[in-house]
Amino acid sequence: MKLSKNFVKDYVDIDVDLKTLAEDMTRVGNEYDSAEKLINATNLVIGKVIECKEHLDSDHLHVCKVDVGNEVLNIVCGAPNVRENLKVIVALVGAELPGNVKIKKGEIRGQESNGMICSIAELGLESKFLKEEDKAGICELGEDAIVGEDPIKYLGLDDEVIDFELTANRGDLLSILGMAYEIGAIYNKQVKEIDLSYKENGKDINDEFNIDIQTDNCSLFLAKKVENLEIKESPTFIKNRLIASGIRPINNVVDISNYVMLETGQPLHFYDADRLGNKLIVRMAHNNEKLTTLDNIERELDENDIVIADAEKPIGLAGVMGGLTTEVENDTKNIIIESAKFDSVKVRKTSKKILRSEASNRFEKGIDPNRTYMAIKRACNLLEKYAKGTVKTGIVAYDKTDKNPKNIEIEFKNINDVLGTSISNEEIIDVFKRLGFKTQEKEKSVVVEVPTRRLDISIKEDLIEEVSRIYGVDNIQGKLPKVEMKRGSYNKVERDIRNRMIALGLNETLTYVLINEAESHKYTKDDFEELRLLDPLTEERNTLRYSLIPSLMKTYEYNKARNIQDISIFELGKGFYKKGEEYGENLKLCCLMTGEYNIGIHNRKKVDFYIIKGIVEEVLNYLGYENRYSFIKPKSMPEEFHTGQTAEISVNNDIVGIIGKLHPEVVKDDVYIFEINIDKLLTKKVGKMKYKEISKFPSIKKDLSVIVDKDVTCEQIQKVMKNSGGSLLVNIEAFDLYQDKIIGQNKKSITYSLEFRDDKRTLVDEEVNEKMNNIIQDVEKKLNAEIRK
């Protein structure tokens, strides 16, 4: 809402400058975007061209002598309409005009030029407000302009404008009157009366005209007739105020409808009475019904649009825009004024679909029914005054609204309790008085009569807000709540996982949850329905991720494209799914590694399966799952994974994640990934951390190298060892892997360190040797193994 300071001063006195006004309005909740002069130009003066000769070196320039009051200036001017005796706007040397134009002393083709004769366009008015003649040449001032004085003032453009960004609940501030009440409350000033006087003439309108309201979406509809109008240009003050408010002046009649809307916040519509029948119908549109609106565009309507219609067809889109057929034109003589209240939700839907207008903006925010009456009277007043109209007696009215003010009773204590203040009863009552609310004080409470213009106030809490606004939150001293002491809490395990991963050398990422539909079933064999957005912003991100792997792959690609080779990243975030009728999400830990892990000249190491497996084990061990997990060769695996380097991560015999190298067809680099469903993992039980007695007896360690077929797994070998070693074999550790031609292409040798111990006595060599023999026999027999000597 652009507020013209000159306009609002009709209704309230303002003693402060524009910036202060804007800041003070902000403090009571009305933010602004800009606060500026309507014309932002300096050093302008009214001048009179006393001599005008053609420039000898140019076919269009003129050399003028211009009297600016205290001196006569030589100015070169290129406008076709410059001539002797014309009163003009002169920008003196040193003047600054909009668009960063600075006027300097100069010479144009050999002729001295000490200033510039200006057009209206050069003063910075938006082009939509300019007439053809404004664009074609310099501005011609009237004979009554006084040389040496301020031309902006003469033109009535000496206005200042604040562009407010209003909150959705303050529809009342979409009017000059509403603004006047707000400003009056801040500075404790009385709001002046609006002039609604006019003379009624002739027979009652109800004798010749009627309305038929066929929908509940119109709760109030008023119509009056004004005759014998004289259509012409509006008076300067009306034009300038419309311009300051951002509305293009058209003619006096159309301008008055906009002027009244600005003043009262009630949009009006004027119909050419002679092109309208004797009846207006308000109804819902039929599906596929057509209407050509004022802007000459044919609109297709549906049953959710409210229309104004004659007997056959719609002639206006209620609350949004009028129709072309009954438009006020230059030859219009008689008009019907419509002032009505339409359902805000319906208007919002229609305007969103078709067009947002000044009118729809106001209907959406709600209309005070008393203003509906005020506006139609004000329009009659102005039409009589500025368009020579004669107002016909009577009003056609349909009214289902409640126009009584609301009474809300609130205890003084309640206000102070909620605000945490000790504001006196007098101060509280003063706030309501400033706002123009009537009050009735009781012993402990006050009954506040809230005028209907304040549609946003309906409960006690709204009144508390008013007190805090006008009293000023700056005047409230902050403190901390007095509450029972207690310990706060947070999700520690999530942080522990994050910190563990970071300690292991991984960079934490934060990626987008939205991915492309085509990626949503990748990297997983799980059964779920993908979650697609109804209305995505881009097709690239139209689906919620199930797995974090696509997100981390994007991050990998982004870095790879920037020539970054060593990437070790992880993310702890949500994956989403639909399964049957259930919508859900899981916290997942995903990690991607490629390139080198330890970087430096001493121990460079390419990431391999065993490094990322080490990360998984480290996290699982840290969370307490040591000895409760295993890595299992998947029965079927997602096709994006390497068939020979992928495993399922199983905890307590339940799959919680996947680990592996990506398939060479998916990515050329050696990229390793794991993903664990943390929500699922954390349902698995963990034992408490507890001290275990350290054995007082020494252990005996024996090494054993086993040559087996390549496909025999380390886990299989250890299982056999464990079985035959029994309880004395307390630890098996593989510490060397060996493969070469001598032992055979399809063989491998693993060397184990076996530790034997009895916690009740010292073992003797003989029994350990016996166990070792058992173990050797078993691995030879069961795994077809050979023992390296």
Partner 1 sequence: MKEKIEQMCNQAKEKIAEVKKSNELQELKIKYLGKKGEITSILRGMSELKPEERPAIGSLVNKVRDKLEELIKEKENEFKQKEIQEKLEKEKIDITLPSTKIKRGSKHPINRIIEEIEDLFVSMGYDVVAGPELETDEFCFERLNLPKGHPARDMQDSFYITNEYLLRTQTSAVQARTMLAKKGIEPIRMLCTGKTYRREDDATHSHQFNQVEGLVIDKKENNVSLADLKGTLEVFVRKLIGDNLDLRFRPSYFPFTEPSYEVDVTCFKCGGKGCALCKKTGWIEVLGAGIVHPNVLKINGYNPEEYGGFAFGTGIDRLAMFKYAIPDMRYLYANDVRFLNQFDRRDID
Nearer to partner 1, 561 or 764 (CB): 561
Q: Which of 440, 512, 643, 773 binds partner 1 (CB under 8 A)?
A: 512
Given a contact cutoff of 8 angstroms between Cβ atoms, the answer to whether 252 and 238 are in contact is yes
> Environment class of residue 605 by beta-carbon count within 10 Å: exposed (0-12), middle (13-18) or buried (19+)?
exposed
Nearer to partner 1, 529 or 786 (CB): 529
Provide the minimum distance between the beta carbon of 173 and partner 1 in the complex, in angstroms, as a whole number. 11
Nearer to partner 1, 44 or 615 (CB): 615
Provide the minimum distance between the beta carbon of 480 and partner 1 in the complex, in angstroms, as a whole number. 5
Contact set for partner 1, span 166-225 (CB under 8 A): 167-170
The closest alpha carbon to 414, from 444, 447, 458, belongs to 444
- Classify 5 as helix, strand or coil: helix
Both tokens of 545, joined, read 């991720």
Given a contact cutoff of 8 angstroms between Cβ atoms, the answer to whether 19 and 160 are in contact is no
Contact set for partner 1, span 270-299 (CB under 8 A): none
By CB under 8 A, which span of 92-100, 475-483, 686-694, 714-722 interacts with partner 1?
475-483
419 near partner 1, rule: CB under 8 A: yes
Q: Which of 18, 101, 196, 514 binds partner 1 (CB under 8 A)?
A: 514
Both tokens of 427, joined, read 């101060």
Both tokens of 171, joined, read 């529809």
In sequence order, what are the beta bridge partners of 339?
222, 268
Q: Which of 132, 142, 298, 490 binds partner 1 (CB under 8 A)?
A: 490
- Classify 764 as helix, strand or coil: coil
DSSP letters for 284-337: EPPTT-EEEBTTS-EEE--TTSEEEE-SSSEEEETTTEEBSTT---TT---EEE
Tally the residues of the chain: 789
Q: Which of 127, 128, 193, 488 binds partner 1 (CB under 8 A)?
A: 488
Q: Which of 199, 495, 701, 710 binds partner 1 (CB under 8 A)?
A: 495
In sequence order, what are the beta bridge partners of 756?
700, 729
Provide the minimum distance between the beta carbon of 733 and partner 1 in the complex, in angstroms, as a whole number. 24
By CB under 8 A, which span of 46-54, 213-221, 272-280, 594-602 interacts with partner 1?
594-602
Nearer to partner 1, 148 or 536 (CB): 536
Contact set for partner 1, span 360-379 (CB under 8 A): 364
Nearer to partner 1, 312 or 484 (CB): 484
233 near partner 1, rule: CB under 8 A: no
Provide the minimum distance between the beta carbon of 4 and partner 1 in the complex, in angstroms, as a whole number. 22
Per residue in 664-684, is it b (16+ CB within 10 Å) or e — as a string?
Answer: eebbeebbbbbbbbbebbbeb
The closest alpha carbon to 75, from 42, 41, 105, 44, belongs to 105
Both tokens of 176, joined, read 């000059």
Provide the minimum distance between the beta carbon of 617 and partner 1 in the complex, in angstroms, as a whole number. 17
533 near partner 1, rule: CB under 8 A: yes
Q: Which of 96, 134, 158, 461 binds partner 1 (CB under 8 A)?
A: 461
By CB under 8 A, which span of 217-225, 497-505, 642-650, 676-684 interacts with partner 1?
497-505
Nearer to partner 1, 20 or 278 (CB): 20
Nearer to partner 1, 3 or 729 (CB): 3
Nearer to partner 1, 602 or 741 (CB): 602
Both tokens of 518, joined, read 């085509």
330 near partner 1, rule: CB under 8 A: no
C-alpha gyration radius of the chain: 42
Which amino acid would we find at residue 254? V
Residues 236/239/244/247 CA torsion (nearest 10 deg): 180
Contact set for partner 1, span 420-439 (CB under 8 A): 420-421
Which amino acid would we find at residue 282? V
Both tokens of 138, joined, read 């310099």
By CB under 8 A, which span of 80-88, 471-479, 618-626, 627-635 interacts with partner 1?
471-479
580 near partner 1, rule: CB under 8 A: no
The closest alpha carbon to 401, from 169, 269, 218, 266, belongs to 218
Provide the minimum distance between the beta carbon of 571 and partner 1 in the complex, in angstroms, as a whole number. 8
613 near partner 1, rule: CB under 8 A: no
**Cα distance between residue 299 and residue 312, in whole Å:** 17
Provide the minimum distance between the beta carbon of 652 and partner 1 in the complex, in angstroms, as a whole number. 25
- DSSP character for 634? -
**Cα distance between residue 722 and residue 749, in whole Å:** 18
Nearer to partner 1, 96 or 462 (CB): 462
Nearer to partner 1, 332 or 360 (CB): 360
Q: Which of 70, 99, 312, 481 binds partner 1 (CB under 8 A)?
A: 481
Give the x/- contact pattern for partner 1 in 11-50, rule: CB under 8 A: ---------------xxxx-x-------------------
Q: Which of 559, 621, 699, 751 binds partner 1 (CB under 8 A)?
A: 559
Given a contact cutoff of 8 angstroms between Cβ atoms, the answer to whether 210 and 278 are in contact is yes
Q: Which of 142, 330, 331, 482 binds partner 1 (CB under 8 A)?
A: 482
Both tokens of 280, joined, read 């207006």
536 near partner 1, rule: CB under 8 A: yes
How large is the angle between the packed helices 492-503 and 609-622, nearest 10 degrees?
Answer: 150
Contact residues for 466 (Cβ-Cβ < 8 A; gap 6+)? 431, 432, 435, 457
Nearer to partner 1, 192 or 554 (CB): 554
**Cα distance between residue 744 and residue 747, in whole Å:** 5
Contact residues for 502 (Cβ-Cβ < 8 A; gap 6+)? 508
Sign of torsion over alpha carbons 131, 137, 141, 146: positive
Q: Which of 139, 544, 590, 754 binds partner 1 (CB under 8 A)?
A: 544
Rounded to a whole number of angstroms, the distance between the first and last alpha carbons of the chain is 93
Nearer to partner 1, 36 or 780 (CB): 36
By CB under 8 A, which span of 162-170, 183-191, 269-277, 750-758 interacts with partner 1?
162-170
By CB under 8 A, which span of 204-212, 507-515, 679-687, 729-737 interacts with partner 1?
507-515
Provide the minimum distance between the beta carbon of 338 and partner 1 in the complex, in angstroms, as a whole number. 24
Q: Which of 532, 606, 633, 685 binds partner 1 (CB under 8 A)?
A: 532
418 near partner 1, rule: CB under 8 A: yes
By CB under 8 A, which span of 74-82, 177-185, 211-219, 492-500 interacts with partner 1?
492-500
**Cα distance between residue 240 and residue 2, in whole Å:** 13
Nearer to partner 1, 479 or 760 (CB): 479
Number of residues engaging partner 1 in binding (CB under 8 A): 94
Q: Which of 248, 574, 663, 684 binds partner 1 (CB under 8 A)?
A: 574
Residue showing tokens 């057009």: 119
Both tokens of 703, joined, read 């090494």
Contact residues for 701 (Cβ-Cβ < 8 A; gap 6+)? 753, 754, 755, 756
Q: Which of 298, 331, 483, 668 binds partner 1 (CB under 8 A)?
A: 483
Provide the minimum distance between the beta carbon of 107 and partner 1 in the complex, in angstroms, as a whole number. 38
**Cα distance between residue 674 and residue 609, in whole Å:** 10
Provide the minimum distance between the beta carbon of 691 and partner 1 in the complex, in angstroms, as a whole number. 29
Provide the minimum distance between the beta carbon of 345 and partner 1 in the complex, in angstroms, as a whole number. 5
Run of H or E residues at 221: strand 218-227
DSSP E strand boundaries for 335-435: 335-342, 390-392, 396-399, 406-411
Given a contact cutoff of 8 angstroms between Cβ atoms, the answer to whether 517 and 532 are in contact is yes
Q: Which of 281, 382, 464, 651 binds partner 1 (CB under 8 A)?
A: 464
Provide the minimum distance between the beta carbon of 20 and partner 1 in the complex, in angstroms, as a whole number. 14
